[in-house]
Amino acid sequence: MTISMASWFGNLSRPVDIYCERTSAAWAAEPLNAISNIAFFIAAWAAWRLLREKPETAFRAPIQALCVIIAVVGAGSLTFHTIATRWAEWTDVIPILIFMMVYCWLILTAFFRWPVWMKPLCCLAFFGATFFLESDAFEKFLWGGAMYLPTLVFLAVAGVGIWRSNADAGRAFFAAAGLFVLSFTARTLDQPLCGTIPIGTHYFWHIFNAGTLYLLLRAVIIHAPGGTRAAPAGISRADASQSLPAKDSGVNSSA
């Protein structure tokens, strides 16, 4: 199958009408889908506040960047659900893709300790799969939600790996993954249930997805603390702690 660049970008001013709530081209035709984006701003604020309360947390710079990106996700989604054109759709898609790319790198660094050369390969593979599924060729598959399938796979695989080495972090990660499944379900059912629920269900995607992004950041903030960095996947905390050098007690044993 050949997919041209036009199948991704196409006519950037082309109207996009793929949600049940939209019944016209008016900018206010999706009030619930637009207003529900406030959840992303709340999630960004909550994650930033949690990070400030945990001064021992490592990887502060990328976590702070991810907090900002969550807010940008909300702004981009708000733009798309009011203007509703192809170019506005990219303001919705690109920020969430950037978030997942940065988060993928962060997880591979904080919990898996992958070598530098392997992390870009994994992140690029994730980007490539997501971008490929965003093309118009898959627009009708899962009502435009095909691009989120790589995220589901990533959350499942990474969650298992984290849980094997750190049960608490794994449970926190699975909580985020579970909420994303619920979020993805709400997005997928928007069109099929349109006849029954005229206002659709897409706004739940925004609310649940904002919660997912917060939980993903919370898992890193809480379970990748500075000074007691998480052990690589496959190595227990006990084994990792045994490999650390003993602290100097201040007594010279040769005295």
Could you tell me if residue 90 is inside a domain?
Answer: yes
In whole angstroms, what is the distance from residue 113 CA to residue 226 CA? 15
Nearest to 29 by CA among 98, 86, 80: 80
Q: What is the pLDDT along the chain (255 residues), one digit of tens a residue?
A: 334 455 555 577 888 888 899 888 888 899 999 999 999 999 999 999 999 999 888 899 999 999 999 999 999 999 999 998 989 988 998 999 899 999 999 999 999 888 888 999 998 998 888 877 765 555 565 556 677 888 888 898 999 999 998 899 999 999 999 999 999 999 889 988 998 999 999 999 999 999 999 999 999 999 984 534 444 444 444 444 444 444 444 444 444
Q: Is residue 1 part of a domain?
A: no
DSSP 235: S
For residue 17, being part of any structural domain is answered with no
The label of the residue with tokens 């994730």 reads 126
Q: Is residue 129 part of a domain?
A: yes
| C-alpha to C-alpha distance for 19 and 68, rounded to whole angstroms | 27
Does 246 reside within a domain?
no
pLDDT of residue 238: 43
Q: What is the CATH number of the domain that holds 155?
A: 1.20.1070
| Residue-number span of the structural domain to which 191 is assigned | 33-237
Asked whether residue 26 is assigned to any structural domain, the reply reads no
Neighbours of 46 (CB within 10 A): 17
DSSP 135: S
Residue 158 lies in a domain: yes
Q: Whose CA is closest to 1, among 145, 125, 132, 151?
A: 132
212 vs 170: CA distance, rounded Å: 14
Rounded distance between C-alpha atoms, residue 124 and residue 33, angstroms: 30
Domain count, the chain: 1
